[in-house]
């Protein structure tokens, strides 16, 4: 899912809230995982800010939200914030890096120069065409990557890793399987 909005000046919460809320309210999903380089701060008071939007918007239902830090941004947060908020450890997020929106900017930035003089309808059509191509190519790469990873994991490994994670999810006081012991390299999973 991607929501785009023309911002007057930078990523102000009010503009970002509006774009995010209107996209979420129209998706018809029950749960959504979101990544943002400042998710740990942005999620604070999100629903209070949403309540301050125009009344006709506030009546729309939005799905349950899970927030996470993209992996290229999580290492600039303190270790506890990184462990608690990183998309690497988000339940249901799979092996995403959460950097999808950042990667899209590399594709869209050149489009901004080509479309800035266009009528809004033509601009939106051109951007939509570019995003459709981007998403199609991404889906092809995801299928190829999944097949490569699945070929290297045994059913026994999957059961063992699933058991460790489910035990930790049921009792977070147990050792976090995603955090490597100091000086021992990789985490359990």
User: Does pLDDT of 10 surpass 70?
Assistant: no
pLDDT at 143: 93
Q: What is the pLDDT of residue 145?
A: 92
Q: How far apart are CA 147 and CA 160, in angstroms?
A: 20
130 vs 77 pLDDT, higher one: 130
Q: What angle do CA 89, 22, 44 make, to 5 degrees?
A: 45
Strand blocks (E) in 9-147 = 31-35, 64-68
121-130: which pairs have CB atoms within 8 A and are 24 or more residues apart? Answer: 127/4
pLDDT (tens digit per residue) in 38-75: 888 888 988 888 888 877 766 667 778 888 888 887 77
Quickly tell me which residue has 């994991």 as its tokens: 153
pLDDT in tens, 104-119: 878 788 887 888 888 8
Tokens of 103: 């990667």
Distance, in Å, from the CA atom of 61 to the CA atom of 139, rounded to the nearest integer, reads: 29
């Amino acid at each position: 899912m991607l929501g785009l909005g023309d911002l007057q000046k930078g990523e102000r919460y009010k503009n970002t809230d509006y774009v995010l809320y209107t996209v979420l309210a129209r998706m018809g999903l029950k749960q959504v995982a979101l990544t943002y380089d400042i998710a740990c701060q942005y999620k604070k008071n999100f629903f209070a800010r949403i309540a301050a939007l125009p009344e006709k918007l506030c009546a729309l239902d939005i799905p349950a939200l899970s927030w996470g830090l993209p992996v290229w941004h999580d290492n600039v947060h303190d270790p506890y914030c990184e462990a608690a908020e990183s998309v690497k450890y988000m339940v249901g997020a799979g092996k995403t890096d959460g950097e999808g929106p950042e990667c899209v900017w590399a594709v869209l930035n050149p489009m901004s120069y080509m479309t800035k003089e266009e009528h809004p309808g033509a601009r939106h059509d051109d951007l939509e065409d570019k995003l459709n191509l981007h998403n199609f190519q991404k889906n092809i790469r995801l299928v190829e990557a999944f097949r490569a990873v699945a070929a290297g994991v045994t059913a026994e490994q999957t059961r063992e890793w699933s058991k460790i994670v489910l035990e930790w999810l049921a009792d977070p006081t147990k050792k976090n399987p995603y955090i490597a012991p100091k000086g021992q390299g990789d985490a359990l999973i």
